[in-house]
Amino acid sequence: MDTIVAADVLITCPSRNFVTLKITTADGVVGWGDATLNGRELAVASYLRDHVCPLLIGRDPARIEDIWNYLFKGVYWRRGPMTMTAVAAVDLALWDIKGKVAQMPVYQLLGGAARQAVLVYTHASGADVPELLEDVAAARGRGFRAIRAQAGVPGVAGTYGVKHGQYYEPANAALPEEQHWDTEAYLRFAPDYLGQVRDFLDSEVALLHDIHHRLTPLEAARFGRSVEDLHLFWMEDPTPADNQESFRLIRSHTITPIATGEVLSSIWDVKQLIAEQLIDYVRLSVTHSGGITHLRKVFNFAELYQVRSGSHGPSDISPIGQAGAVHLDMTIANFGIQEFMGYPQIVSEVFHGGPTYADGYLTPSEAPGLGIEYDETAAARFEYSPKYLPVARRADGTVHDW
């Protein structure tokens, strides 16, 4: 039996922070796991370093399910994004090792390809509608068949989702930036600009939109109804999902498809949403939801209710997490779509390999394991730099969901 002899946490910042777990076995096999939780990176790094890594030494890396349960049930304090991101990092690294030992890409170990490639959507945004349409055209030019559109709302400085420069990076300041939010201004403007994007796009291109938890259930119902004719692929996070039953109200008023789950981290957080068919797409990610082992269970459960996958894939999930997502996406029966923002060029100095993008689809690497390697020498050149996500306030100063 091979054993785990080392577990190290590595932090780097090639334009943004990434936390990576490196697991090494006595046979010299190295597995990589993503432990990046935007704006709370060091908390997960400490969770791993101080409380998880010492427990891994001497264990059999082949026993993925057992180690998963040991870390989930054994901690007593279960669930939550910190715990589930730490467990995910271990899980991803162990799948990477299993693949390298078996000399197979991870998707083969998960049952093999259920499709030729993974459909992805990318982001397009603009401070105003002409700028958004330009960005939509650029995304089409890169071959994307599904596009998420976000425009700045007039009078709402710092609207969510509008990029500055080529990449959208919301964790932009050493202390949280305060942004302004106005629900009525958004509700007046968004259906109209989304209509302009729909008219601009060929009908076969899917159009997505992220509300980013900003509405009440009734406001979300009103929004969903007002865009029904646009046939959105989905409206994302119409309202916070802490209260799962609140989606009943949205559902009973609109046939606009609903996606949610990017801030959630366990099957229990989405159980009612799925079992009552209150959503159409579940957006948990491998990185923030306990890794491939747990997310596969979520997707298998969702399959029973015709809910599809739509994994969160922002640039604040590292290329290791993205690679893990694509392996899982390849194998499940109820795959829907995968988010793919891409990374600035400098990120590839640290992370080598990974899925290949062409014509609106990602294809997993055929290399054994996850097919992605972390360059420790390159990583050491980029020092951790504290960065926070913004906070939103309404005109009267009240804190709003960001």
Q: For residue 389, state whether it binds ligand GCO (rule: CB under 6 A).
A: yes
Q: Exposed (0-12), middle (13-18) or buried (19+): which is 342, by Cβ within 10 Å?
A: middle
Please, which residue, 41 or 219, has the CB nearer to ligand GCO?
A: 41
Question: Site for ligand GCO (CB under 6 A): which residue of 38, 150, 159, 365?
Answer: 38
Q: For residue 182, state whether it binds ligand GCO (rule: CB under 6 A).
A: no
Q: Give Cβ neighbours of residue 301 (< 8 Å, ≥ 6 apart).
A: 267, 271, 274
Closest CA relative to residue 309, chosen from 318, 321, 317, 301: 301
Closest distance between ligand GCO and the C-beta of residue 228, in Å?
Answer: 22
Q: For residue 219, state whether it binds Mg ion (rule: CB under 5 A).
A: no
- Give the CB-nearest residue to Mg ion: 210
Please, which residue, 170 or 355, has the CB nearer to ligand GCO?
A: 170
CB–CB of 328/299 below 8 Å?
yes
Question: Site for Mg ion (CB under 5 A): which residue of 41, 91, 96, 210?
Answer: 210
Q: For strand 351-353 and strand 308-309, is the pairing parallel, antiparallel, or unpaired?
A: unpaired
Please, which residue, 139 or 350, has the CB nearer to Mg ion?
A: 139
Options 160, 186, 281, 343, the catalytic residue: 160
Question: Considering CB distances under 5 to 8 angstroms, the limit depending on partner class, which of ligand GCO, Mg ion, none binds residue 269?
Answer: none
Please, which residue, 217 or 371, has the CB nearer to Mg ion?
A: 217
Question: Considering CB distances under 5 to 8 angstroms, the limit depending on partner class, which of Mg ion, ligand GCO, none binds residue 38?
Answer: ligand GCO
For the window 300-329, what string marks contact with ligand GCO as x by the rule CB under 6 A?
------------x-x-x-------------
Tokens 């259920």 sit at which residue? Answer: 114
Residues 98-137 that bind ligand GCO (CB under 6 A): none
- What is the rounded CA–CA span in Å between residue 243 and residue 396? 26
Please, which residue, 53 or 162, has the CB nearer to ligand GCO?
A: 162
Q: For residue 96, state whether it binds ligand GCO (rule: CB under 6 A).
A: no
Tokens 């420790």 sit at which residue? Answer: 376
Sequence-ordered alpha helix ranges (H) in 74-204: 81-102, 106-109, 129-141, 183-200
Helix (H, G, I), strand (E, B) or coil at 362: strand
- What is the rounded CA–CA span in Å between residue 125 and residue 128? 8
Q: For residue 262, state whether it binds ligand GCO (rule: CB under 6 A).
A: yes
- What is the rounded CA–CA span in Å between residue 23 and residue 387? 27
212 labelled catalytic: yes
Options 212, 213, 288, 312, the catalytic residue: 212
Each residue of 126-151: b (16+ CB within 10 Å) or e?
A: beebeebbebbeebbeeebbbbbbbb
Catalytic residue positions, numbered = 160, 212
Interacting residues with ligand GCO (CB under 6 A): 38, 170, 210, 212, 262, 312, 314, 316, 339, 389
